[in-house]
Structure 1
Amino acid sequence: MTVKHLSAAAFAALGFAVAVPATAQADELVLYCSVQEEWCRAMSEAFQRETGINVLMTRRSSGETYAQIAAEAAQPRGDVWWGGTGDPHLQAAQEGLTAEYVSPMLGELQDWAVRQAETSGNRTVGIYAGGLGFGYNSELVTEDPPACWADLLDPRFEDDVQVANPNSSGTSYTMLATMVQLMGEDEAFAYLAQLHDNISQYTQSGSAPIRAAATGETAIGIVFMHDAVAQTVQGAPIVAVAPCEGTGYEVGSMSIIADAPNPDAARTFYDWALTPAAQEIGAANNSFQIPSNLNAATPEAAPRLEDVNLIDYNFALYGSSEERTRLLQRWDAEIGSLAQ
């Protein structure tokens, strides 16, 4: 199963642009959420309970949400885009799809969260971080477990690796941009073409591959390491791996949509979502990212960035509209076409 690149026009044609009412009320917030469903629901319910503002929440992957916001640009229907990898948030910022806002909470945030705001001209901000890697099912891979990106090319893993499609998934786009930065562009696409021989499915959701590994549908899922840890914590035989060659990471982000129908509610949510209490909701809902507020407790099970061999990920370049569009088009032509 593959997911082809969806343009903003395609999303409009499919009806995504009417997912929420055209006219929202002053005491409402229309939230587009790009983390796991459980975390999305918990954030929505907590904010509604604490403020009395009714939340209309839609959950979609990062790439899908970006396309929806672009499709609705002439008549915005959402107020806040919360969660998902930072690259599409940065692209939305560059294209003027999101609004400038400097939260009074900015001084409480990690340096990488503030840099995300500065890079975007204060049109997005970092809310969590997590390293890219993969997880394997230790009941299916019992000998010579993979420790490096190169190991995933082993013929013994034929049709036994899953990864998402980078058009719909921010996780998979982070992998694509990571490989380009780690190996060089041509070498990265050669690697991905070889890896294709072992790919059983390009999923729509970035975390779907590790859920498949947890149930034994596949042996290996390429995901952010915190998603692999979430399966381990729930009792699945999943081992999270930080690849030996080095890897990229995400700065999960939040943006206020330009010309949002409920700008006051949007700013209220934005400030609230940067508080320690709001950021600790993730760990209570089996999400193990590193929170951006310095005063928020980091989940004990969260993979620490300092323990991972991280590349110097160029968020400004790979979050730019031109570069992101170009890389996705090349992926469609050289990798996505192989699955058709």
Structure 2
Amino acid sequence: MKITTTAAVAGTALLPAFAAGAAELNLICSADVVICEKLVTEFERAHSDIGVNMVRLSSGEAYAKIRAEARNPQTDLWWGGTGDPHLQAAADGLTVEYQSPRLSELHDWAVAQAETSGHRTVGVYSGALGWGYNTRIFEAKGLEEPACWADLLNPDLQGEIQMADPNSSGTAYTALATLVQLMGEDEAFDYLKQLNANVAQYTKSGSAPVRAAGRGEAGLGIVFMHDAVAQTVEGFPIRTIAPCEGTGYEVGSMSLVEGGPNPDEAVVFYDWVLGAEVQDLMPEAGSYQLPSNKAAVASEHAPDLGQVKLIDYDFAEYGSSDRRRALLARWDSEIGGRATD
């Protein structure tokens, strides 16, 4: 299936959402729930003839749901979350080829994501991987600030680290793929086995580790840097670190689901959310990623990626079905871990 129609992106008169005869949109959102709710509220305000049914799922969970429903799709559009599972969904034929009329407004990295997928997904934001640690806990326990990936293996950090499970979390899969690209696959798994001794918990959600650190339930969370910054902005004693050896990054993506029940409404949302005026609203919901529209303004709190040593992350390879499945299978076999919320 290929969508070729162009949807209007202008807002409509304000009327109550879900009015009699209103159309619907079934949305999976893989960003922070506050951001998801902000998008739904603003979309229903702009398009009052469309009511949104939204469910928040981590990237891996979203991919699994869409794949499980392939014979009878229930979802129309998947917004946010790391790009690798979006690319896998594209490779598996689970999403729709579509080129938005707003594609020319986007940064090159967002367009490159679309081109890599055969225009079955597109970049909506970007952010680098790192960690956030609780400065009060580290000071109280006399722990040294970890500036590099190697520092996370310090035995003094036993039980202090949380990270997510890469099966459910796009953040954690990005970490896994990053380490493989930095070190080589065997070396990366040797590193992860050593790191496992310091990991107290593998969570389902990618941002949960740093939220736990903010609450004092962990010393450090391996997360995207913007999620750590969000905790600092909220007043928690979290310091954000970019690994000295280099780090990967995400291109948060958006995809239209093949065979979704409301394709026209999905296209309306797709084009609307790529607009600069919409992306400018995201910092109000605590979004500190870099927006994909070139005219949108990032939050003043957003990490400066120009100061981060980024690897040349291979989205095509690590977003491919075979590579992703193989890495996750090896993680399950050699690392494991029980993921919790």
Q: Same fold (TM over 0.5)?
A: yes
Partner of 1:301: 301
Does 2:32 correspond to 1:36? yes
The 1-side partners of 2:26 and 2:108 are apart by: 29
Tell me by how many angstroms 1:282 deviates. 1.9
Q: Classify the secondary structure of the residue corresponding to 2:258.
A: coil
Partner of 2:92: 95
The 2-side partners of 1:260 and 1:338 are apart by: 32
For residue 121 of structure 1, what is the amino acid of its counterpart?
G
Partner of 1:154: 154
Contact 1:26 1:262 in 2 (8 A): no
Structure 2 residue ranges without an equivalent (≥5): 1-20
The 2-side partners of 1:324 and 1:256 are apart by: 21
Does 2:139 correspond to 1:134? no
The 2-side partners of 1:30 and 1:277 are apart by: 23
Mean CA deviation greater in 280-289 or 113-122: 280-289
Does 2:67 correspond to 1:70? yes
For residue 225 of structure 1, what is the amino acid of its counterpart?
M
For residue 318 of structure 2, what is the amino acid of its counterpart?
Y
Q: Classify the secondary structure of the residue corresponding to 2:99.
A: coil
Tell me by how many angstroms 1:120 deviates. 0.2
The 2-side partners of 1:176 and 1:280 are apart by: 31
Mean CA deviation greater in 197-206 or 275-284: 275-284
TM-score if structure 1 supplies the norm length?
0.91
1:101-250 alignment runs, 5 A limit: 101-142=98-139, 143-250=143-250
The 2-side partners of 1:249 and 1:218 are apart by: 23
The 1-side partners of 2:22 and 2:137 are apart by: 53
CA 1:327–1:148 in structure 2 vs 1: closer, same or farther (change >3 Å)?
same
The 2-side partners of 1:306 and 1:287 are apart by: 19
- Deviations for 1:227-276, whole angstroms, at most 9, x for unmatched residues? 00000000000000000000000000000000111111011100001001
For residue 235 of structure 1, what is the amino acid of its counterpart?
G
The 2-side partners of 1:26 and 1:308 are apart by: 46
Q: Classify the secondary structure of the residue corresponding to 1:180.
A: helix
- Deviations for 1:76-95, whole angstroms, at most 9, x for unmatched residues? 11110000000000000000
Q: Classify the secondary structure of the residue corresponding to 1:329.
A: helix
Which among 46, 53, 67 is matched to residue 50 of structure 1? 46
Percentage of identical aligned residues: 61
The 2-side partners of 1:192 and 1:338 are apart by: 15
For residue 39 of structure 2, what is the amino acid of its counterpart?
M
Count of residue pairs the alignment pairs up: 315
Structure 1 residue ranges without an equivalent (≥5): 1-24
CA 1:338–1:107 in structure 2 vs 1: closer, same or farther (change >3 Å)?
closer
Q: Classify the secondary structure of the residue corresponding to 1:258.
A: coil
Tell me by how many angstroms 1:305 deviates. 1.6
Partner of 1:61: 58
1:279-298 alignment runs, 5 A limit: 279-298=279-298
Partner of 1:330: 330
Partner of 1:13: none
